Amino acid sequence: MMIDSAISLIIPVHNGGQNFSLCLCSLEQFAPLSTEIIIVVDGGTDESEALARAFAQGSGAKVFVSVTASGPAHARNLGAKIAKGDILFFMDADVVLQADTLEQVMQIFQGRPDIAALIGSYDDEPGATNFLSQYKNLFHHYTHQTASGVASTFWGACGAIRRTIFLEMNGFDESYRYPSVEDIELGYRLKKAGHQLLLCKTIQVKHLKEWRSRSLLKAEIFYRAIPWTELLWRDRQFVNDLNLKVSTRASVLLTYLLVFAIAMSGWWSPSLLVTAVLSLILLAINRSVYRFFWSKRGLWFACWTVPWHWLYFFYSGLSFVIGTLRYRIFGKPRAAKSISRLHASESTFQSAAKF
């Protein structure tokens, strides 16, 4: 089925490397010719600009280049500024489309005039083959596939929104200078304004990012968990969904009790029994995700995910405490108001970067 020109696909890229090249290949293969494609090169030192311009020569894509990096929120807002489509579809530079991704997006928006935005999911075949990348991306897939269809937030890696509503909401909060929770923050504002968001589990993209332990922990703690905690306190969005399910909160508490029991084992021998009991409870509460890992990658893979999953509970709890303290001490994170340049004049817009 052909898709009309009502969709604008916006990709921010900063040192995208080989993953960005694969992303562009998927656009060549699966994006209909009528799709408006906007690539915003947000600074960087690699060949991303050259790749974008070479792609534009054959596809008619629009390429916007910012000399200095200002973050994906700013880059997406710039793309939205020049977009002509009724629907803005945002995707990251390290994901690739599937054959029916854009077709499904348009079909849902055409059939559901009541929704303001939708998000999709990573697929279950991550691009990077190392264990940590497989674990992290499969866990993300599982989280979205088992979540409620009524979304509680937005997602910039695979998310679409009506352009008029995006402009009314002033887009993404540009105070987030790194890939962080700017998409979640937008989702919370959309929900607060009474807009409806959907999680469409069949709309999927493949994530190519290779995670290593240092990059994963840095992103999870400092770019996601701590600022997300501040948003939770600001907007009181403690919903039983995605990473905030009751089972997850219980697992965080059990993990800290487990650490305490292990620490006490040298002084109080019954703590070994407590450790065993707590471990069994943690395994039981999270048995569905471990069965998922087993079904996808086998028993040994599932076993190796357990310590990483429990580490996730540990640093999630720690990040929540830090984020709560930051919120109490420094106050609310800045609410989005005149944060984007969506209503700037055309001359100001062009002077900020170069085409």
User: What is the band of 355 on the pLDDT scale with cuts at 50, 70, 90?
Assistant: very low
Question: What CATH code is assigned to 7-211?
Answer: 3.90.550.10
Using a pLDDT cut of 70, give the percent of the chain over it.
89
CA dist., res. 284 & res. 238, Å (int):
24
All residues at 6 or more sequence positions from 80 whose CB lies less than 8 Å from its CB, including other chains: 8, 10, 88, 163, 166, 167, 171, 342
Average pLDDT for the chain: 89
Handedness of CA 281, 282, 288, 290 (dihedral sign): negative
CB atoms within 10 A of CB 75: 28
On the question of pLDDT at 30 being above 60, the answer is yes
**What pLDDT is attached to residue 238?**
65
CB 81, CB 341: distance < 8 Å = yes
Distance CA 226, CA 220 (A): 9
What pLDDT was estimated at residue 338? 37
Q: Is 150 helix (H, G, I), strand (E, B) or coil?
A: strand
Tell me the C-alpha to C-alpha distance, in Å, between residue 295 and each of 290, 291, 292, 299. Answer: 9, 6, 5, 8
Which 3 state secondary structure label does DSSP give 55?
helix
**Total residue count of the chain as it appears in this document:** 355
Give the three-state DSSP class for 60.
coil
Domain ranges of the chain: 7-211
Look at residue 353 in the predicted model and tell me its pLDDT.
41
Question: Per-residue pLDDT averaged across 21-26, rounded?
Answer: 98
Residue 32 in tokens: 């209909």
Q: So what's the pLDDT on residue 239?
A: 62
Decide if pLDDT at 246 tops 80. Answer: yes
Alpha-carbon distance of 43 to 40, in angstroms, equals: 9
**d(C-alpha 16, C-alpha 241), whole Å:** 31
pLDDT of 267-306, one tens digit each? 877 888 999 999 999 999 999 999 999 999 999 999 999 9
Conformational region of residue 43, where left means phi above 0, alpha means psi within -120 to 50, and beta covers everything else? left
